[in-house]
Amino acid sequence: MSGTVAISGAKNSALVVMAGALLCPQECRLRNVPSLVDVGRMGEILAALGVKLERQDDCLTIDASSIGQSKAPYELVSQLRASFFIIGPLLARLGVARVPMPGGCAIGARPVDLHVRGLQAMGAEVQIDHGMVYACVKGSSPRLQGAKIYLDYPSVGATETLMMAATLADGETTLENAAQEPEVVDLANFCRAMGAKIRGAGTNTIVISGVPSLHSTDYSIIPDRVEAGTFLVAGAITHSEISLSPVIPDHLTAVIAKLRAIGAQVFTESPNRLRLVSTRHLEATDIETLPYPGFPTDMQAQFMSLLTLSEGDSVITETVFENRLRHVAELSRMGADIRVKGSNAIIRGVPMLSGAPVVGNRPTGLCGAGVGRTCRKR
């Protein structure tokens, strides 16, 4: 490979920011929205709630001035775990939300207990019945109450759900042990552009002071760090020279450090451009996936592919998700030498792989959609 790649807007930001637009009783314009199946699905979910959407190129206009429904349809939610994010904004805006439990994914069961406990701490009554999460705010005011919430784990989704819910709550909410991922910061910036009062996003303590209402905004989504990281790995594995833009290099610190550790060269050519040069054989390294700023679980499979061809033994430890080593069987079919012990994969580099029929994102019943449907999580 050689050349320059344009990196699209971050999928995980776009999905949650789309949900966040439910907080606003006026039209919001989102730019740099990637063109992906999941974005289309999130759009369908919002449309089912009565929201008007219009897409032109990478610009998506969302008008949630009237929300006719507080119940999200199971058939749509089951196809996209990220759709559970709508529970926070719906509850904050309407005082009631009915959202099906999300299906899992090929990467584990993925519970929502942290989202639910946080909403309960803010005064919501939550019941889970027949696979549906019913949440409502009882009492004379339909507003959630600010609260001090400690997350047992810095879950990205729970941090985002609770941050959105808190924007319109009465009083101040503090999220301790919050996720620090760039997509959390992007959501906070979007909410602030609508008039929300949020500080500390990007650290492990986020403080949100509730405001009575939010207003229209025009907001551009950050570049996708996983797409950028995936191209960097593709460049390294093919011993290529490639250039990527736009990117935010700081979002890729752990990925760049590991590429350099195995012998690839990565240069920051300008504040939003990276260049990778991979000329020599690559070496083994050990990787442990962690919450940001640690090494991202969403880059683990790509690095495993790369390490199958690196010289020596590497160990990858997946700590974020319980079942995210399913690609091992597929890589093995292509001649990779990988042994799995619990959440560790021990990879012994081989000189080359050979072509074989393989499956990406093998369907599982956990997707909530049954056999025949693939789950499009990264």
Would you say 299 or 336 has its CB closer to ligand UD1? 299
| Given 45, 112, 175, 208, the residue binding ligand UD1 (CB under 6 A) | 112
Active site residue 105: yes
- C-alpha–C-alpha distance, residues 126 and 96, integer Å: 10
Would you say 243 or 297 has its CB closer to ligand UD1? 297
- C-alpha–C-alpha distance, residues 298 and 354, integer Å: 25
From the CB of residue 155, how many other CB atoms can be counted at a distance below 10 Å? 23
- C-alpha–C-alpha distance, residues 256 and 189, integer Å: 25
Residues 270-329 that bind ligand UD1 (CB under 6 A): 297-298, 320-321
Of the candidates 367, 204, 370, the one whose C-alpha atom is nearest the C-alpha of residue 291 is 204
- C-alpha–C-alpha distance, residues 281 and 42, integer Å: 42
Residue 41 contacts residue 85 (beta carbons within 8 Å): no
Q: State the minimum distance, in angstroms, from the CB of residue 157 to ligand UD1.
A: 3
Q: Does 375 bind ligand UD1 (CB under 6 A)?
A: no
Active-site option among 24, 28, 59, 105: 105
Would you say 15 or 135 has its CB closer to ligand UD1? 15
Residues 252-271 as x/- pattern, contact with ligand UD1 by CB under 6 A:
--------------------
Segment near ligand UD1 (CB under 6 A); pick from 61-69, 105-113, 332-340, 355-363: 105-113
Q: Kind and range of the H or E element at 214?
A: none
Q: Does 82 bind ligand UD1 (CB under 6 A)?
A: yes
Distance from the first to the final alpha carbon of the chain: 23
Residue 247 contacts residue 228 (beta carbons within 8 Å): yes
- C-alpha–C-alpha distance, residues 46 and 22, integer Å: 8
- C-alpha–C-alpha distance, residues 92 and 162, integer Å: 10
Would you say 54 or 322 has its CB closer to ligand UD1? 322
Q: State the minimum distance, in angstroms, from the CB of residue 12 to ligand UD1.
A: 3
Would you say 349 or 368 has its CB closer to ligand UD1? 368
Q: State the minimum distance, in angstroms, from the CB of residue 154 to ligand UD1.
A: 7
Would you say 112 or 287 has its CB closer to ligand UD1? 112
- C-alpha–C-alpha distance, residues 58 and 222, integer Å: 13
Q: State the minimum distance, in angstroms, from the CB of residue 13 to ligand UD1.
A: 8
| Given 103, 146, 157, 223, the residue binding ligand UD1 (CB under 6 A) | 157
Q: Does 230 bind ligand UD1 (CB under 6 A)?
A: no
| Cα atoms in the Cβ-side hemisphere of radius 13 Å centred on 241 | 3
| Given 15, 97, 187, 255, the residue binding ligand UD1 (CB under 6 A) | 15
Q: Does 41 bind ligand UD1 (CB under 6 A)?
A: no
Q: Does 378 bind ligand UD1 (CB under 6 A)?
A: yes
Residue 56 contacts residue 31 (beta carbons within 8 Å): no
Q: Does 115 bind ligand UD1 (CB under 6 A)?
A: yes
Segment near ligand UD1 (CB under 6 A); pick from 69-77, 113-121, 233-241, 249-257: 113-121
Residue 287 contacts residue 324 (beta carbons within 8 Å): no
Distance from chain centroid for Cα 368: 19
| Given 114, 164, 276, 309, the residue binding ligand UD1 (CB under 6 A) | 114
Would you say 38 or 63 has its CB closer to ligand UD1? 38
Residue 24 contacts residue 215 (beta carbons within 8 Å): yes
Residue 193 contacts residue 221 (beta carbons within 8 Å): no
Strand-by-strand arrangement of the 172-176 sheet: 148-150, 172-176, 205-209, 197-199
Angle in degrees, CA 251, 175, 14, rounded to 5: 45
| Given 54, 75, 113, 269, the residue binding ligand UD1 (CB under 6 A) | 113
Q: Does 376 bind ligand UD1 (CB under 6 A)?
A: no
Provide the binding-site residues for ligand UD1, judged by CB under 6 A: 12, 15, 82, 108, 110-115, 153, 155-158, 183, 297-298, 320-321, 378
User: What residues are labeled active site?
Assistant: 105
